[in-house]
Structure 1
Amino acid sequence: MTSASAPLRLEDRGTHVLATVNRPEKRNAIDQDLIDALHELCAELEASPRTLILRGAGGDFAAGADIAQLRERRAPEARAGINTRAFMRVHALPMPVIAVLDGYALGGGAELAYAADIRFGTPTLKIGNPETGLGIIAAAGASWRLRELVGEPLAAEILLAGRVLDADAALAAGLITRLADDGDAALEAAERTAGRIAKLDAAAVQATKRVLGAPRSAHPEIDLAEQAILFDSPEKHRRMTEFLERKQEQR
């Protein structure tokens, strides 16, 4: 549990960790303190894997990067990939990452959302990448993840023309997979999903995430290698034995 004033407020919910981007007075704009907090959180979840739910405080997910800080950055900071490296680390976490998207998820906020494995939205959602209007590109993940998520034609319109999707368009494009009535309902849906994940074999979930994120050229070898490990696991034997026993009892 972190303090109420922390840029990233953390709550241990048992089956998962709930992380709330906590700069509502700035529409949760992503600054260096938040990036540092994300790295700290990732270090914890890399050491002790659990599902992560990300949301924003005050009715917005994150309205973008902190422009005041971004304006002062120069070429060395661009090459360092300050936001990029943090979002890549979020995406690479061993267990699933679920984003609850309410209100604005723009620019860097959208790119943090794209780094999640599962995204739920609300009717107030506005998501997109208007970076070119500020004289920069969407370099923290959108330029490669968005094409994979929604296809190249729509990704091109979002990135090249600055189109911002509303909730219905995001749902139709598959950028979110569920549209809840409001932020509370979206969080409840995310927590139910985290609860279901917690009942599964963690090793199998982590293997599935690795396989899902592997390039096409790595298949089927990576699938077979991961499956070989799981086939020899005691947990696989235990779960399958229980399944067969339940089937037997139902006859």
Structure 2
Amino acid sequence: MAEPLRVDRRTDRVVATLDRPEVRNAIDQATIDALHALCAELETDPRVLILTGAGGVFASGADIGQLRERGADDARAGINTHAFRRVAALPMPVIAAVDGYALGGGAELAYAADLRIGTPEVRIGNPEPGLGIIAAAGATWRLPQLVGDARAAELLLTGRILSGAEALEWGLLSALHPADGLLDAAHALADRIAALDPLAVRHTKTALRAPADTHPVIELELQAELFESPEKHRRMTAFLERRERKR
């Protein structure tokens, strides 16, 4: 049986491709298990994660065949919720490269990323109430942070699906690229991240994700650690030497 998540491991990044073409990359239990396994790896060996989908689709949603059979205990277990929270909490940035459908659970996986880019063909949203359920794997708390309360309410309460251009306008995507250049654009973002100090990137993500009531103390503690790091001294010395040579 084919793996639902194809993983390309590199020194400074990992590309994970949702690959269930027969169901438009719908997220089933095997996909969730594979995401947990990948998160365990990246928690131990932090690298940038690029999430994408095969066949011109990110993920059409949760696997409805499995979802239909789940009961109250399954809902309380938060099967997708816990996997997506783990993705969001990874030490290094997560980039979602979204093409085609990103619906329901697929959209919620994209919302868990730190950076989202897409194509004009994107169709993203949460039509869950049309299936008799709610978007319970992150949309109700992540969407308001991403697009504001009013727009989040419109998406979640009406089941509206945004095009790529609308998602860009709303700030749900940060850039649009042609489908054949989407992965290259994701790698370009990863290249920019790779040029930075990894610990400074990790600490920046920690501060970005921290609860409001922890600011500004958390930034000062993270900065205190960085101020003592050899890499800070090395990079600042190199900057000053480059500036001096230009004079």
Partner residue, 2:211: 215
* SS of equivalent to 2:102: strand
* SS of equivalent to 1:165: strand
Looking at structure 2, the residues matched to 244 and 216 of structure 1 have their Cα atoms a distance apart, in angstroms, of: 35
1:217 deviates by: 1.1
2:16 pairs with 1:36:
no
Deviation string, structure 1 residues 130-177 (Cα, Å, up to 9, x no partner): 000111000000000001000111100110000100011100001000
Partner residue, 1:243: 239
Partner residue, 1:181: 178
* SS of equivalent to 2:82: helix
Q: Which runs of 4+ in 1 moved over 3 A?
A: none
1:12 deviates by: 1.6
1:112 deviates by: 0.2
Partner residue, 1:11: 8
2:159 pairs with 1:156:
no
1:232 deviates by: 0.4
Q: Look up the equivalent residue of 2:185 and give its one-letter code.
A: A
User: What does residue range 161-172 of structure 1 map to in structure 2 within 5 Å?
Assistant: 161-172=158-169
User: What does residue range 1-251 of structure 1 map to in structure 2 within 5 Å?
Assistant: 5-182=2-179, 184-251=180-247
Looking at structure 2, the residues matched to 139 and 166 of structure 1 have their Cα atoms a distance apart, in angstroms, of: 22
1:215 deviates by: 1.6
Q: Look up the equivalent residue of 2:30 and give its one-letter code.
A: D
* SS of equivalent to 2:135: coil
Looking at structure 2, the residues matched to 156 and 199 of structure 1 have their Cα atoms a distance apart, in angstroms, of: 38
Normalising to structure 1: TM-score of the pair? 0.97
Q: Look up the equivalent residue of 1:230 and give its one-letter code.
A: L
1:13 deviates by: 3.3
Looking at structure 2, the residues matched to 178 and 190 of structure 1 have their Cα atoms a distance apart, in angstroms, of: 10
1:15 deviates by: 2.8
* SS of equivalent to 1:94: coil
1:195 deviates by: 1.1
Gaps spanning 5+ residues in structure 1: where?
Answer: none
1:14 deviates by: 3.1
Normalising to structure 2: TM-score of the pair? 0.99
| Cα RMSD, aligned residues only | 0.9
Identity %: 65
